[in-house]
């Protein structure tokens, strides 16, 4: 029998529908998060040092994600019993209560999300999917097993995605960009007339007609 293969979702794709078992009970993803942003992140295995530091770090930023109306969801191919015990261990030994659900995935689910990379062993890699309220995949990141993630970057990415939808593109390192700090980049003109007019727009600051920026509306 041929092995079933799945194509991982790409940016702009619908996040694949999945019925999953979690530490908070059965869930349908992305259906249960309709109208909300969510960050689904996978980890290689429960009861491992790097993953434990990541779970604590995510939980420490739980309120920041809540303020952005963004749900955190963990995932690995460990059984739900293992997840429950590990979460209990973190609470008892590190005094950190994990408030987000953790999915007990199988290989089929992991394959659908591109989490199993043969060159990196049998465990899932550290994947991050940021999904918008319409269930569209907006950002994907993969990390190897030996490198823990930077949760501040994930918080920043969610905030930047939400702001870019309403205000425009954000620069590198936003909100602490070396050139324009927290200002928002204006889309470059697509015709000569607009290009000539752009430099006359007093509401903007420009390096040239193709690189203009405006204040960030907080």
| Catalytic positions | 51
Closest CA to 23 of 90, 69, 74, 92: 74
The owner of tokens 């918008």 is 132
Mapped onto helix, strand or coil, the DSSP state of residue 137 is strand
Contact in structure between 178 and 158 (CB atoms under 8 Å): no
Helix boundaries (H) for the chain: 49-60, 62-67, 80-94, 107-112, 151-166, 192-198
DSSP string covering 100-114, please? Answer: S-EEE--HHHHHHTT
Handedness of CA 58, 64, 66, 71 (dihedral sign): negative
Going across the sheet that includes 137-143, the strands are 25-29, 18-22, 102-104, 70-76, 37-42, 126-131, 137-143
């Amino acid at each position: 029998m041929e092995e079933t293969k799945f194509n991982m979702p790409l940016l702009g794709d619908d996040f694949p529908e999945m019925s999953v078992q979690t530490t908070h009970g059965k869930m349908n993803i992305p259906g249960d998060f309709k109208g909300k942003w969510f960050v689904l992140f996978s980890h290689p295995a429960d009861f491992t040092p790097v993953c434990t530091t990541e779970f604590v770090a995510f939980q420490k930023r739980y309120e920041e994600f809540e303020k952005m109306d963004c749900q955190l969801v963990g995932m690995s191919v460990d059984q739900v019993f293992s997840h429950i015990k590990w979460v209990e261990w973190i609470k008892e030994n590190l005094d950190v209560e994990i408030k987000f659900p953790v999915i007990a995935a199988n290989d089929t689910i992991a394959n659908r999300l591109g989490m199993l990379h043969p060159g990196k062993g049998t465990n899932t890699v550290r994947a991050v999917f940021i999904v918008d309220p319409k269930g569209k995949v907006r950002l994907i990141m993969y990390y190897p097993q030996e490198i823990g993630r930077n949760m501040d970057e994930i918080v920043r990415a969610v905030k930047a995605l939400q702001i870019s939808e309403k205000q425009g593109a954000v620069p590198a390192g936003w909100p602490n960009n070396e050139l324009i700090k927290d200002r928002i980049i204006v889309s470059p003109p697509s015709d000569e007339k607009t290009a000539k007019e752009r430099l006359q727009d007093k509401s903007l600051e420009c390096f040239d007609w193709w690189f203009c920026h405006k204040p960030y509306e907080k």
